[in-house]
Amino acid sequence: MALALLGLIFSGVEAVAMDFALRPYGGDAPASNSIGDIAYDASNGVLWVGTASNGVSVSTDGGRSWTDYLQGAGTSAIASWSGITIVALAHDTTIGNESYPRGDGFALTRDNGRSWASSTPENANKIGRLAYDLVIVPEARETTIWAPCFYGGLLKSTDWMQSWVNVFMDTMDSALNFQSLSHRFFSFAFDSTTNPPTLYAGTAAGIYRSTDGGRVWQQFKYTPGLTGGLGITGNWIVALAVQYLPGNNILWASTRKALGETEYDGVSYLLQGDSIFHHIPDTITVWNFAFVDSVVLFATTEGLFYSYDRGNTLNRIDIFDHISGVRLGNPEVISVLYDGRRLWAGTNEGLAYSDELCGTNWRILGTFPPPYENETYAAPSPFSPLKQFTNIIFRDTGQITPVVEIYDYSLILVRKLDANISQNGLFRVQWDGKNEQGDFVANGIYFYRVRSGRRTLWGKVVVIK
């Protein structure tokens, strides 16, 4: 069914200077371990990383050093193109005993973060009104910013955030209706090989496609009863990405169950020129996609996977730091990006990268505040060993290899861990919540002792499965 577009101009939205963002910080890792979106600007080789609660980090040297901006701000999406970077800002707010996401508008920089402008349209600046994706679509006549904003609808700007247009898929719509699933937007993508670029918008009511610059939209949605791997698996579209291949580009979609009883989490894809989606056989929950020629990479709740055959076979990538000996305790990967040379993965435990296609040799860039000489701490604590590891952090510059011993509340030895590798005397020892027999320990408070030569440190960690 063909659907047309109507626009509603938001007035009074202007870019202004952001005072809190002007002072940069930096280090050898991003500003936070909780990594969200990753963006790469191929025009200048600059890599951008968004964090959940501490702004953005930018690297101009392939990840060796980082500069941090927008400290203290949460981010939900990043787009970077031709020296211009746009960040969607958001944070969680509590009402009663419930936590809700809230949008804080957008920030834009043209000089790699040294100065910023802000824009706070109403539909990206309230509870539930936040952008979960940002896309810059360059065209000959004008460049457009697209921002799918959940309860705020689909926003676009053609004047670099001076004003915003609210885009509707149906000519019958002229105002936002939060009860309509087709007004809840989560993702956006475009195919640059067509003229004009083919646009794709992901909603809670399926996928919409426009081949005329956004004037008319065609809907694709879950259809019960389709067999043979046809159709999308769910109407809630949380990620969209285009894979560029010779003669036949592919749109990939991460789908979730919306309202249909037989919908389910999965991955669907559409070949260029086709009108029917296919889906991969496995049921997986995907956050993001990346591509290396014909290879598809999937960032999922269960880890990072790749496929050579359009998802018919999924191969797991084990993210293990071969230098520090650190392994991701929580396998979930939120974002994945290939910059033409290096593979990047954003997780809740830091930013990881590998110079190999299938990621066999990884480095994990984590931010753990160094304790004082005679102190130690465990993070996270509490932790669930069913989902993650905890990290025992301490300093030691002695010649004897430290040993970490885990005890239960009765001070009965549960596990002994060797601390073999340090980074400039800072140790990070992981405990998976298991005892010496390989069984998960019970919920409760556990003590640990760090022994090194004549020095002993004590700490505690809480297990909640």
Q: Are residues 246 and 347 in the same domain?
A: yes
Q: Are residues 218 and 298 in the same domain?
A: yes
pLDDT of residue 131: 96
Q: Are residues 360 and 380 in the same domain?
A: no
pLDDT averaged over every residue in the chain? 87
Q: pLDDT digit string (tens) for 204-223? A: 999 999 999 898 999 999 98
Domain final residue pick, 337, 365, 393:
365
Q: Which residue has the higher pLDDT, 97 or 283?
A: 283
Q: Are residues 64 and 86 in the same domain?
A: yes
Q: Is the pLDDT of residue 29 over 90?
A: no
Q: Are residues 346 and 445 in the same domain?
A: no
**Number of structural domains the chain divides into:** 2
C-alpha Rg value of the chain to the nearest Å: 24
Contact call for residues 277 and 220 (beta carbons, < 8 A): yes
**Residue 371 domain flag:** no
Q: In whole angstroms, what is the distance from residue 106 CA to residue 164 CA?
A: 11
**Residue 81 domain flag:** yes
CATH code of the domain in which 240 resides: 2.130.10.10
DSSP-derived secondary structure for 253-295: EEEE--S-TT--SEEEEEETT-SS-EE-SS---EEEEEEETTE
> Looking at residues 157-181, what average pLDDT do you find?
85
Q: Are residues 44 and 157 in the same domain?
A: yes
Q: pLDDT digit string (tens) for 378-417? A: 988 888 888 778 889 888 867 778 899 999 999 999 999 9
**Residue 148 domain flag:** yes
Q: Is the pLDDT of residue 143 over 90?
A: yes
Q: Are residues 325 and 459 in the same domain?
A: no
Q: Which residue has the higher pLDDT, 18 or 351?
A: 351
Domain final residue pick, 365, 400, 435:
365
CATH code of the domain in which 400 resides: 2.60.40.4070
Q: How far is CA 296 from the centre of its chain?
A: 17
Q: Are residues 169 and 228 in the same domain?
A: yes
Q: Are residues 397 and 268 in the same domain?
A: no
> What pTM did the predictor assign?
0.82
- Range(s) of the domain holding residue 415: 376-463
pLDDT of residue 99: 84
- pLDDT classification of 25: cutoffs 50, 70, 90: very low
pLDDT of residue 180: 85
Q: Are residues 199 and 83 in the same domain?
A: yes
**Residue 242 domain flag:** yes
Q: Are residues 305 and 450 in the same domain?
A: no
Judged by average pLDDT, the poorest of 4-13, 156-165, 275-284, 304-313 is 4-13
